[in-house]
């Protein structure tokens, strides 16, 4: 039974175990790259080092945004065209995604290296953290091409029907990072620089493993020289399919930019100072990113099933896939919320620092900012579902409403009236608004599919 036949006939729960589980592991491990650095830097350097990783984090997320735009976009395009029986067009779309990745990766590496100093200041570097930001950011900038390539090609490999291989490449990369982090920081005493080198080494390994797979070891995808002929004209078309993923990541960058500067400004006016809120909130965002990656991984694994069955008019199978993934996402996020409310220090202590003010603000971050994770999960699942149906515009609108219409104004308002602690309440408010709108969209789209 070939991959296309399985997507249309295999039991949904079995397909999700085969596709979504490796995808979740891959996405979570990808998020762990930055988080592992933060853990070891916190233990070996201190919270100023953690604050520096929070400054550089949006640069990484912006690179991932471009990678996912082309990776998820070409994956959705590939599976939709295969569902329609247009196999050569599907392969050409995947080739366009790969070409676009090379171009974007090289451009970002150049821009980051040339403008690193101003970018660090833009994203909230203070005089106390600036040197750490430059150390960490310089090497990240040099290796940013591999960050883009590895994150995007995972989606392409999953679309080919090989989620376990995508997971394998990510596991190897993350293992290299986790092994070399403590060695470079604690044994070789390289500090922040060592942590960054470990990260890039893992991403390089992951990129070459994925490249090896794409060069002749695919199952469904048939990339050839002909696939790349005139494929440049399809880059924008493929990118359109990945706009929801791109918008999600870019909105994170925009929000972090505003958050960091507000944390520094209002933190300096509080008992915490400018750097403690930045470091503590950075930890919270990494934890949120892990959970977001898990939900995104579920939907990335479900995407080939959704897109193929929607493209071949098997709407009942698409709806069943949606129901299972939504339930799984809610179970995960509700469980995490309970944990953060009852035992926040069990998470915070992993990242080091015995500073009382740091611990106080970090606990507040976890309990308040992440209190409505379930509503965020509903929004993420809905956006991915709409993207899988070839409706990136509707998916992007939900993300824009959460991040720009509610979250950013909320931070400005709550910060003005309640200071650095008030900033945190904008998170749950944005989650509730986006979640309610997402429920409306889900009901509307599922009603259409049931009636078709």
- Please check the confidence at residue 88 and state whether its pLDDT lies above 70: yes
Query: DSSP string spanning 331-395?
Result: HHHHHHHHHHHH-THHHHGGG----HHHHHHHHHIIIIITTTHHHHHHHHHHHHHHHHTT-HHHH
Across residues 337-342, what is the average pLDDT? 97
Across residues 118-138, what is the average pLDDT? 92
Residue 73 confidence (pLDDT)? 92
pLDDT band at 424 (very low <50, low <70, confident <90, very high): very high
- Please check the confidence at residue 267 and state whether its pLDDT lies above 70: yes
Across residues 155-170, what is the average pLDDT? 86
Of 32-41, 129-138, 204-213, the range with the lowest mean pLDDT is 32-41
pTM of the shown model: 0.77
3 versus 152: the higher-pLDDT residue is 152
Across residues 353-377, what is the average pLDDT? 92
Residue 409 confidence (pLDDT)? 95
Of 37-41, 191-195, 253-257, the range with the lowest mean pLDDT is 37-41
Across residues 367-379, what is the average pLDDT? 96
Of 12-16, 117-121, 215-219, 435-439, the range with the lowest mean pLDDT is 215-219
**Residue 167 CA to chain centroid, in angstroms?**
15
pLDDT band at 107 (very low <50, low <70, confident <90, very high): very high
- Please check the confidence at residue 30 and state whether its pLDDT lies above 80: no
CA–CA gap between residue 380 and residue 219 (Å, rounded): 29
Question: How confident is the prediction for the chain on average, in pLDDT?
Answer: 89
* Most confident option among 167-171, 255-259, 366-370: 366-370
Query: DSSP string spanning 25-78?
Result: HHHHHHHHHHHHHHHHHHHHT-HHHHHHHHHHHHHHHHHHHHHHHHHHHHHHHH
Q: What is the pLDDT of residues 429-440, one digit of tens each?
A: 999 999 999 999
Residue 312 in 3-state DSSP?
A: coil
Domain range for residue 300? 3-451
- Please check the confidence at residue 76 and state whether its pLDDT lies above 90: no
Query: DSSP string spanning 183-248?
Result: IIIIIS--HHHHHHHHHHHHHHHHHHHHHHHHTT--SS----HHHHTTGGGGHHHHHHHTHHHHHH
Cα torsion angle, 437, 80, 107, 31, sign: positive
Whether 188 and 181 have beta carbons less than 8 Å apart is answered as no
pLDDT band at 251 (very low <50, low <70, confident <90, very high): confident
pLDDT band at 34 (very low <50, low <70, confident <90, very high): low
Residue 3 confidence (pLDDT)? 58
Q: What is the pLDDT of residues 306-317, one digit of tens each?
A: 888 888 888 899
pLDDT band at 109 (very low <50, low <70, confident <90, very high): very high
Whether 162 and 213 have beta carbons less than 8 Å apart is answered as yes
Across residues 280-298, what is the average pLDDT? 89
Unique residue bearing structure tokens 């979740």 = 24
- Please check the confidence at residue 2 and state whether its pLDDT lies above 60: no
Residue 332 confidence (pLDDT)? 96
C-alpha neighbours within 13 Å on the C-beta side of residue 172? 15
Across residues 165-173, what is the average pLDDT? 86
Radius of gyration, CA atoms only, the chain: 21
Residue 121 confidence (pLDDT)? 94
Locate 60 and state its tokens.
Answer: 């990484």
DSSP 8-class letter at 10? S
CA–CA gap between residue 149 and residue 151 (Å, rounded): 6
Residue 353 confidence (pLDDT)? 64
| Structural domain count of the chain | 1
């Amino acid at each position: 039974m070939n991959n296309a036949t399985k997507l249309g006939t295999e039991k949904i729960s079995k397909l999700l175990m085969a596709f979504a589980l490796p995808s979740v592991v891959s996405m979570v491990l990808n998020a762990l790259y930055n988080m592992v650095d933060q853990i070891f830097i916190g233990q070996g350097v201190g919270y100023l080092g953690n604050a520096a990783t929070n400054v550089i984090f949006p640069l990484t997320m912006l690179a991932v945004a471009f990678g996912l735009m082309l990776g998820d976009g070409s994956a959705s395009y590939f599976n939709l065209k295969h569902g329609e029986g247009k196999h050569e067009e599907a392969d050409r779309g995947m080739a366009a995604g790969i070409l676009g990745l090379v171009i974007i990766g090289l451009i970002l590496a150049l821009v980051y290296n040339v403008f690193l100093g101003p970018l660090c200041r833009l994203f909230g570097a203070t005089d106390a953290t600036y040197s750490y930001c430059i150390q960490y950011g310089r090497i990240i900038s040099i290796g940013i091409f591999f960050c883009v390539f590895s994150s995007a090609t995972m989606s392409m490999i999953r679309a080919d029907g090989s989620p376990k291989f995508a997971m394998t490449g990510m596991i190897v990369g993350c293992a290299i990072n986790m092994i070399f982090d403590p060695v470079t920081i604690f044994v070789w005493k390289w500090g922040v620089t060592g942590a960054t080198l470990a990260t890039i080494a893992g991403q390089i390994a992951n990129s070459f493993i994925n490249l090896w797979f794409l060069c002749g070891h695919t199952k469904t995808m048939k990339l050839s020289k002909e696939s790349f002929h005139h494929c440049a004209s399809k880059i924008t078309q493929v990118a359109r399919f990945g706009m929801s993923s791109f918008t999600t990541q870019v909105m994170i960058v925009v929000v972090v930019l505003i958050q960091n500067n507000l944390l520094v400004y209002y933190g300096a006016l509080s008992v915490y100072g400018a750097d403690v809120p930045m470091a503590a909130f950075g930890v919270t965002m990494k934890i949120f990113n892990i959970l977001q990656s898990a939900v995104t991984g579920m939907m990335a694994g479900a995407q080939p099933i959704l897109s193929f069955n929607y493209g071949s008019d098997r709407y009942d199978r698409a709806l069943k896939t949606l129901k299972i993934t939504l339930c799984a996402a809610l179970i995960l996020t509700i469980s995490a919320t309970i944990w953060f409310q009852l035992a926040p220090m069990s998470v915070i202590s992993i990242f080091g620092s015995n500073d009382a003010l740091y611990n106080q603000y970090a606990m507040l971050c976890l309990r308040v900012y992440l209190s409505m994770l379930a509503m965020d999960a509903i929004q993420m699942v809905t956006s991915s579902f709409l993207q899988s149906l070839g409706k990136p515009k509707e998916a992007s609108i939900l993300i824009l409403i959460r991040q720009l219409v509610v979250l950013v104004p909320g931070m400005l308002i709550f910060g003005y009236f309640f200071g650095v602690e008030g900033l945190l309440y904008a998170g749950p408010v944005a989650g509730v608004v986006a979640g309610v709108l997402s429920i409306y969209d889900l009901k509307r789209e599922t009603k259409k599919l049931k009636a078709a």
